[in-house]
Structures are given as structure tokens and as C-alpha cells.
Amino acid sequence: MSKFKKKKKGLPAISTASLPDIVFMLLFFFMVSTTMRETDLLIKKPVLPTASEVKKLEHKSLVSTIYVGKSKDTRISGDKIQVNDKIIDVNDIPNFIFAERALRKEEEVKFMTTSIKADKEANVGTILDIKEQLRDINALKVSFSTTKGNNIKSNY
């Protein structure tokens, strides 16, 4: 009789050894795909000029960034200015700076820096207009964002 008696086979335990690996995989996926950018660019990504005498921008929380570049639509010519998530006119820059100032503590306002990230093909006229607007409202600390390098010839 024992011949027909089926041997009771238990279900083999599922190995949990691979569980940490799955978790790690997820971790990697997020590590690779995460970018530390706060704003989505509505203009073409500016190609920053190269400069050798650069200073690092301290206190990231006190930096407001202005992007200058060409529109994504090739039919539209001229330089476009973007702050946060919208394209604005030069005359709206003071409003943007005031809004940025309102978010900071009062004693920090004088340490605020405006970083201009402009494409190297942009016109100086646009940049000078921005500078004039910043001067008007006493936002005097400006940084022209560049990549560090010695090949200055690539700028023009």
C-alpha cells in the first residue's frame, strides 16, 4: 500500500534573498533618473559660455535664476527670457525679483544673487536690458553663469 502513498511534498519556500536586490534596483532607477532641476525649460536649453575666472555661487537658496535663450519654436526669432516656469518680458523682471524677495527673510535680501543663464548666441542688448532692470530695483549682485574651462575661443 505504501507504494501508492504519495509523498507529501511541501511547497518550497520562496527565497527572499533577492528582495534587497529588487529594492536596490529601484534605488538605482531613481538615482539615475532624478535630476536636480526645479524648473522646466520652455526655451531651448542655453549653451553657457566658457570662462576661466569663475566663482562658485554660495547659498543656493538665495539665488534667483533668469534664463535667456531662443524659443523652442524656430519660427520665433529673438531672445526669450524665462523665470520660474514662464516666459516673461524684460519689464516684468522687477516683479519677479520682488516676488523672490518676498519669499526670503528680510535680513537675507541683501545677500541675494541673480544668476543669468544665457545662451552664448544671445544678444548683449537683452542682457544689458536685464541688468538695467535689476539696477532699477537695487538687485546689484549678478552672476553670469558659465561653465569652467580654458577654451574661451569656443565662445564666439
Q: Could you give the CA distance from residue 37 to residue 28 in angstroms, rounded to a whole number?
A: 18
Q: Based on the shown chain and the rule CB under 8 A, indicate whether residue 145 belongs to the binding site for another protein.
A: yes
Q: Based on the shown chain and the rule CB under 8 A, indicate whether residue 26 belongs to the binding site for another protein.
A: no
Q: Could you give the CA distance from residue 73 to residue 90 in angstroms, rounded to a whole number?
A: 20
Q: Based on the shown chain and the rule CB under 8 A, indicate whether residue 20 belongs to the binding site for another protein.
A: yes
Q: Which of 2, 3, 12, 38 binds another protein (CB under 8 A)?
A: 12
Strand order of the β-sheet with 63-70 is: 86-88, 79-83, 63-70, 113-118
Residue 57 CB contacts under 8 Å (≥ 6 apart), including other chains: 63, 113, 115, 143
Biggest distance spanned by C-alpha atoms of the chain: 102
Q: Which of residues 58-117 bind another protein (CB under 8 A)?
A: 60, 63, 65, 68, 113, 115-116
> By the criterion CB under 8 A, which residues form the site for another protein?
12, 15, 17-18, 20-21, 24, 27-28, 31-32, 36, 49, 51-57, 60, 63, 65, 68, 113, 115-116, 118-125, 127-128, 131, 134-136, 138-148, 152-153, 155-156
